[in-house]
Amino acid sequence: MSAALEVALAYHDAWTSHDFERAMTYVADDIVCEAPAGRLEGAEAYRSFMGPFVQILKGSQLIAAFGDDDKAIVMYDTETVPVASAPGAECVTVKNGKIVYSRFVFDRAPFLQAA
Amino acid sequence: MSAALEVALAYHDAWTSHDFERAMTYVADDIVCEAPAGRLEGAEAYRSFMGPFVQILKGSQLIAAFGDDDKAIVMYDTETVPVASAPGAECVTVKNGKIVYSRFVFDRAPFLQAA
Question: Per residue in B18-67, pLDDT tens?
Answer: 999 999 999 999 999 999 999 999 999 999 999 999 999 999 999 999 99
Write out pLDDT tens, residues A60-113: 999 999 999 999 999 999 999 999 999 999 999 999 999 999 999 999 999 999
Is the model's pLDDT at A51 over the cut of 80? yes
The answer to whether residue A112 neighbours chain B at the CB level (below 8 Å) is yes
Mutate to test the interface with B, among A5, A9, A93, A107 (most CBs of B within 10 A): A107
Residue B106 and residue A109: Cβ atoms within 8 Å? no
Residue B1 pLDDT: 77
Fill in the DSSP letter of residue A69: S
CB atoms within 10 A of CB B32: 17
Mutate to test the interface with A, among B62, B74, B107 (most CBs of A within 10 A): B107
Instruction: Put residue A38 in one of left, alpha, beta given phi > 0 → left and psi -120 to 50 → alpha.
Output: left
HSE-up (13 A, CA, CB side) for residue B45: 16
Min Cα–Cα distance to chain B from A28, Å: 20
Name the H helices within B1-115.
Answer: 3-16, 20-24, 43-55, 109-114
B38 to chain A: closest CA residue: A85
Residue A1 pLDDT: 77
Name the H helices within B20-106.
Answer: 20-24, 43-55
B5 CB-near residues (< 8 Å, 6+ apart): B65, B66, B67, B68, B72
ipTM metric: 0.96
Q: Is residue B34 within 8 Å of residue B103, measured between CB atoms? A: yes
pTM of the model: 0.97
Size of interface A-B (CB pairs under 8 A): 67
Write out pLDDT tens, residues B83-100: 999 999 999 999 999 999
